[in-house]
Structure 1
Amino acid sequence: MNAAELTLPERASKPRSRGLTLLIDNGVPLHHFQDVVESFDGFIDFVKFGWGTSVITKHLTDKIRCLEEHDIGWFFGGTLFEKYVYQGKLAEYRRYLRQHGGRYVEISNGTIDLSNAEKAQYIREFSSEFTVFSEVGFKDGEKSIHLSPARWIEYIQEDLAAGAFKVITEARESGTSGICRSNGEVRYGLIEEIADSGIDLDKVVFEAPNKTLQTYFIRLFGTNVNLGNVAFDDAVALETLRLGLRSDTLLQFS
């Protein structure tokens, strides 16, 4: 029983492999970053340095040190990986990761012309040294909406077979692509087909950058669903959703 003597859903404890919360740092100032991590580290499993922000972040080393002191994993955004691939500089990317002591890497093909089979080969190669988060789905909304559920399932399975630790389903930080329509509506049929495919959902991270998406996935899959692209200031708000301490999920858990 918790201190408030309420009956709450059982939450996986850290270090955990399910119920992960992945925050996105899109350029948070250093002291604010440190305050959030130090205050709410129990609710945060990973931080992604979004896109290529790590390249121009002034206090990147300080941020990484803060995360490691609080046992929070971190990785650079998949768009940065794609930039290195596009310029033919994968050896340089490996050096960049090693330089910062990276243990995790995100591998995606959301922007550049890279087939999923080619992406899977990169997953195999990087898995020998790093723990790989892969991502399925495109940044371009028009391109993504035409990716059929069967293809989504095929690509998720292919990435997992190649050695991905978790597969992230694209929604962008705006929640307007990938598993969402351009108006922000969830592609409900797609999510249902992924859920019914037999894929281990503990291996999937659903990007959910807003309360509407977070609530939807918690209601559908329960407290310990993996959620990503969570805004840096939303760690506590999301945890209350997970525990039924917010009106949106209060009646979900008795």
Structure 2
Amino acid sequence: MTQDAGFIAPDWSLPTRVRALVTTRAGGVSLPPYASFNLGDHVGDDPSAVARNRARLRASLPAEPTWLAQVHGIVVADANEASGVPEADAVVARGAGAVCAVLTADCLPVLFCDDAGSVVAAAHAGWRGLAAGVLEATVARMAVAPSLIRAWLGPAIGQGAFEVGDEVRQAFVEGDPGAAAAFVPGAVPGKWMADLFLLARRRLSRVVVHRVEGGGVCTYADAARFYSYRRDGRTGRFASLIWIES
């Protein structure tokens, strides 16, 4: 990923008119523990600081992002039709003039586009949403052949830091026994270290989305660039965004 003053351009082959961006925690005005480019308005940060940070982000975009009220579900909003702040964990957009965005701080952001550059999407995939099918729901809402879809896995908590219980492993393995490969035993009996990136790749493969790039950048391990809820508890959120230029 190429970084420039608080923004990262994903290393991802995109159609001509499609653009993608990931923010970092640098370059904003929020004070600790949200320092400094926090874009989440639901984490206890000063609302005026969040507004200033979002204004800075907006200056690099063709439109205000379609912000979501994320609830770890599988609802997919339509950025071309949405008003206010939809309660959803993914968003799609067709044609120029709308920006898809998700906020994360350990959960996995996944960006999508089709080969023609006619539809884009962003999904927020924590383990609950991932197990429930948020990626599959996003692919379906794009309404193009899955073989024409490209996906990119953004920064998320890595396997070495993501300890979960038996119930999490079971949520994946009961519907896909091969998902057991994404879990290794933790230091404590009944605990597992989960690989969100591998789980996402498996879910996408099951709906015939095979061109998946990115993955492997750990938010927990990279405190200089990314917020991590598991590491810090009280913290900010960074954004992963995608849109079609006019």
- TM tier relative to shorter chain: 0.3 to 0.5
Q: Which has the higher strand share?
A: 2
Q: Which has the higher helix share?
A: 1
Q: Which has the higher contact order (CA 8 A, sep 6+)?
A: 2
Q: TM-score, with normalisation over the residues of structure 1?
A: 0.35
